[in-house]
Structure 1
Amino acid sequence: MTADTDRASQWLHSAGATARAASATMARSPAGARNAALLAAAAALRANATAILGANEQDLIASKATAAFRDRLTLTPDRVEAMAVGLEEIAALPDPLARTLAEWSRPNGLQFRRIATPIGVIGMIYESRPNVGADAAGLCLKSGNAVLLRGGSESLHSARAIHAAMTAGLAAAGLPEAAVQIAPEADRAYVAAMLAGSGLVDLIIPRGGKSLVERVQREARIPVLAHAEGLNHLFVHAAADASMACSLLVNSKLRRPGVCGATETLLVDSAAPPSLLPQLIQAVTAFGCAIRADARTRAILPELPAADPSDFDTEWQDAILNVAMVDGIDGALSHIARHGSEHTDAIVTADAAVAETFLAGVSSAVALWNASTQFCDGGEFGFGAEIGIATGRMHARGPIGLEQLTSFRYVVTGTGQVRP
């Protein structure tokens, strides 16, 4: 065992034990106390905005990443304010623990209730986006969970500054600061320790690039809630309004190209008016977007760069767009099934019947009609924030908010019944 591994293992056992105790307190705490902690944390973010931005500047100076990656890493006054507002929005949401999910009685008189309950201790492993720490902590606190955070080396200074604001909120509300803890270093040994933390951590949520998610899914000895790549598609049907399609494409691809909800592939219906494809290409290239086009697209616009077969399986997270021509709704669904990652896919059309066929036909966690793929975001769903996006088939799919951070248990009330 290396010194780093030993240090990480010791941290996990200590942090996991205190987080377990804190999670029990959080689960029993009144909603008012949890909301007070969130509001106090929001105030602490604002009060310490200068220090948080200074810490972020340290991370940016050390970064040698691409422009899209730096955008994910960068904090601004507006983004710090958005974190604070997100915590306030979470506080304003209904208590996810005050829910009876179902109730019924049996002929023998037993009364059954299925009740929402916290998961326990969440392990959150993330990379470049420092705001993830605030979002994850806020959602875990509101849902009565404790969280162990492990940020990436590129955002370590920012993550620590944000963590300090979250623990200040807990202390102000009289709740245990151990409910939100952060790994003291960004060494990968801390990831390995968390993945092996059976009995200390109840659920791992990774939020980052493909290599991180694959490692977590490969090595974890505890349940994982994760998403695959954001290989997202925007299908422009023959009945689409051209102006709307251009606007949605620009936003879906270029609003923030580095986020997982960004569109990576434009699919254009071969039955669309001949003028539509050039309009769509012009709309994005006017903003400096590079194109990778299939043979059918290049037959119409031969000046476009040719796509390699692997391009349609690539999450660019940059201002690069794949373009393919397809034959109607069946062609679009076939392409998405072959190349998509079941994350987010959208259709642009004025034909409601075609839209319903598309929405029912894609297996994506989020499917949209006449809306940007970048709406795949917990805040936009009304969740206040998100702890990640899930594309698996178990427990939760799409943006992970308060409800998805709860499980359930059963309470059975009798009047002395015994089983025959």
Structure 2
Amino acid sequence: MIASLNFLSIIITLFFVSFIIGFFIYELVKKRREALQVLQNKLGLGKNYQNYQDLTLDLIQERQRLQNQLVQLIKTNLQVFDQLSLAIAYWDYHRDILQYSSTFARYTGLTNHEGREISIHDFPVFGSLLTKMTEDSQTVEIGTMQIKIQRIAGDSHCFFILTDLETREAEEKEKKYLTHAIWHEMKTPLTVLKGYTQLLLEEIQEPELLKICQKIDFQIERLEKTTAQLRHLPRLNETNIPIKIQDFMDMIQQVLRSWQAEVEDRKIKIQTKFEDIEEYRNRELSFSQGDLYIVASNLISNAIRFNRPHGFVSVLLHVQHESMVFEVADNGPGIPEEMKDLIFKPLGYSSYNGGKSQGIGLYLVKEAVRRGGGRIAVQSESDRGTTIRIFIPFR
């Protein structure tokens, strides 16, 4: 009897243990399937996997496919860089391969190398130089060339951008010569036309002819101002001496004085307000002196030229966070909505305060603000006027 009871208890115990083990196996399989489902959903895989081995094999294949796509994308980008004559190379750390554009090959002596890729350690001279770079930008001399190397590094890859400084300097000199030549060739005939027009204005008595001569004189003045702005183009990156707010305040007054005749003729009221900036007058600005003059002269002249007779122009300076705000406002006709995206385009028809202009003044303003790390805000309403704010960071 006792033996039967012991046997029964053993059977019950084994059954209970088997049940517990089976339950845990069931839960483990269930959790495994749920984990596989989560992985499938996260990875966007449409297949139903029963085990991790199949999933791992597919993930390896997917990774290889993406790797091949990346390599092809790099090759395509290098072909685009070739069209732009940019010297750029891509270094994949894991594959230890350097892919490069044809301009990069020309700069570094790889023009005779077959294909568009090479192991960076087999790359004569430059390979050692690129792998040992300690800074993201440095200048080296290779033969007669002075090369600037810029590095953009990631976790598993790196881009190198090469610039031939002598070639760039030669291109800049050519641009300066060309713009100066254009300015000189336009200046002389405009001066002659201006002289003859002034004589006609003094001599002509007939109202209709006098009106025509006044229109001619106005267009000549517009061309003179446009050609004067053209002279700034080759010098945009030369004048980079920072100035203080007090110097900028003096500059604004100088610009206003230069437009005094136009202000009096059109009976425009000018208001300046610099009181809010008094305690900051010795702070240096991030804009260069040349760029500040471009900003001040163009915004003030536009507010005067394109305003209505008996109009109003205000020039304000105040501080906002770590920037000085230069604000020019008027009560002119305003900028039409369809023209707001065009006013900063170079030489294209734009509209400022309702008047059409084909100058480059506001384009120069935009470029000056970009160089100084500032920003522009334009607010305009039809028949209410225009306000332009330039945010100029402190140095």
Which of structures 1 and 2 has the larger relative contact order (alpha carbons within 8 angstroms, sep 6+)?
1
TM-score range, shorter chain: under 0.3
The alignment's TM-score, normalised by the length of structure 2, stands at 0.23
- Mark the structure with the bigger radius of gyration: 2
Greater fraction helix = 2
